[in-house]
Amino acid sequence: MIKAVKGTKDLLPEDLFKWHFVEEKFREVTRSYGYNELRTPIFENTGVFSRSIGEETDIVNKEMYTFKDKGDESITLRPEMTAALVRACVEHNLTREHSLLRLWYFGPFFRYERPQKGRQRQFHQFGVECLGSSLASADAEVIMLADRLIKSLGLNQYKLLLNTLGTDETRAVYRKALIEYLESVQDKLSGDSKRRMLTNPLRVLDSKEKNDIEAVAKAPIILDFLDAESKEHFENVKQILDKFSINYEVNPFIVRGLDYYNHTIFEFRSDSLGSQDSFGGGGRYDKLFEQIGGSATPAVGFAMGVERLLIMLEALNSAEIKSYDTDIYVITYGESEYIYGLEVAEMLRAKGYSVLNDVKQRKFKTQFKEADKYQARFTVIIGEEEMANREVTLKNMATGEQNKISLDELANYKF
By CB under 6 A, name the binding residues for ligand HAM.
80-82, 111, 113, 118-120, 123, 125, 127, 129, 257-258, 278-283, 301-305, 307-308
Looking at the Cβ atoms of 206 and 212, the one nearer to ligand HAM is 206
Looking at the Cβ atoms of 9 and 175, the one nearer to ligand HAM is 9
Looking at the Cβ atoms of 118 and 252, the one nearer to ligand HAM is 118
Looking at the Cβ atoms of 136 and 356, the one nearer to ligand HAM is 136
Looking at the Cβ atoms of 129 and 147, the one nearer to ligand HAM is 129
* SS3 sequence of 188-255: HCCHHHHHHHHHCHHHHHHCCCHHHHHHHCCCCCHHHHCCHHHHHHHHHHHHHHHHCCCCCEECCCCC
Q: Which residue is nearest to ligand HAM (CB)?
A: 305
- Closest distance to ligand HAM from the beta carbon of 7 (Å): 8
- Closest distance to ligand HAM from the beta carbon of 394 (Å): 48
- Closest distance to ligand HAM from the beta carbon of 390 (Å): 56
d(CA 398, CA 241): 48
Sheet with 65-68, strands from edge to edge, namely 43-45, 74-77, 65-68
d(CA 217, CA 253): 9
- Closest distance to ligand HAM from the beta carbon of 267 (Å): 7
- Closest distance to ligand HAM from the beta carbon of 75 (Å): 19
> 101 Cβ partners below 8 Å, 6+ apart?
89, 94, 95, 130, 131, 132
d(CA 281, CA 169): 24
- Closest distance to ligand HAM from the beta carbon of 203 (Å): 13
- Closest distance to ligand HAM from the beta carbon of 149 (Å): 13
Looking at the Cβ atoms of 64 and 185, the one nearer to ligand HAM is 64
- Provide the sign of the torsion angle of the four alpha carbons 354, 359, 360, 361, taken in this order: positive
- Closest distance to ligand HAM from the beta carbon of 221 (Å): 21
Looking at the Cβ atoms of 203 and 395, the one nearer to ligand HAM is 203
Pairing of the two strands 101-110 and 36-37: parallel
- Closest distance to ligand HAM from the beta carbon of 335 (Å): 51
Contact 228, 169 (CB under 8 A): no
Looking at the Cβ atoms of 148 and 194, the one nearer to ligand HAM is 148
d(CA 316, CA 333): 44
Looking at the Cβ atoms of 284 and 395, the one nearer to ligand HAM is 284
d(CA 245, CA 260): 29
